[in-house]
Structure 1
């Protein structure tokens, strides 16, 4: 199988609610459901939707998991053949597990995020 690269905009331990406001980015390389090497975290100087789109293209990202994303950026990344899972709520760890197993869909609310809200 082909090596793929997943990008997730972060807010702490969770998927950032908005693609265009994230300053912390996680990149995970994977193949056949297994992580390759160490995931990388990148801190951006400031939030930038254009900068994030440029990073996705330059890093040859194949998969994106995010919260909200503007239609313009969604369409651009889809045109660049990035597999986009948007409107996802939850921890980035749970999202990575779902991507590796091939079971993440757009609009998913990951169970651990429901539990953390219930325990507040």
Structure 2
């Protein structure tokens, strides 16, 4: 499975449309199959990020808040969206791999910061 996480300062980006950094990782259900790849986007654009997701063949998007229109677009494209996630991106990635990340998750790393 190819997973894309929106990132800001080592955490899941709070808003999909404001993300300028993403990490793409592939996982076979047990292990990562390739090293995670970081992509720095030239500017903030939900449309261009959506195009990248489709072109890359991403099957799961992990993000903070996302506009309903983009959420529906991804569902139409059969791309799973785990939104409303707050916390460290590495922790979120590990939870996705384990099948434990759910929409609206507030990860322990987010709780530790306060």
TM-score bin (small chain):
over 0.9
Q: Report the alpha carbon displacement of residue 5 of structure 1 after superposing the two structures with TM.
A: 0.5
Match of 1:31 in 2: 28
Instruction: Decide which of 44, 55, 60 is 2:57's aligned counterpart.
Output: 60
Q: TM-score, normalised by structure 2?
A: 0.98
- Runs of 5+ unmatched residues, structure 2: none
Q: TM-score, normalised by structure 1?
A: 0.93
- Partner SS, residue 27 of structure 1: strand
Q: Which stretches of structure 1, 4 residues or more, deviate above 2 A after TM superposition?
A: none
Q: Kindly report the root-mean-square deviation, in angstroms, between the aligned alpha carbons of the 2 structures.
A: 0.6
Pair 1:83 & 2:80 matched: yes
Q: Highest CA radius of gyration, 1 or 2?
A: 1
- Distance (Å, rounded) in 1 between the aligned partners of 2:30 and 2:92: 13
Counterparts of residues 1-120 of structure 1 (less than 5 Å): 4-117=1-114
Q: Report the alpha carbon displacement of residue 37 of structure 1 after superposing the two structures with TM.
A: 1.4
Q: Deviations over 1:16-70 (max 9, x none)?
A: 0000001011001111231111100000000100001000100000011100000
- Distance (Å, rounded) in 2 between the aligned partners of 1:27 and 1:66: 12
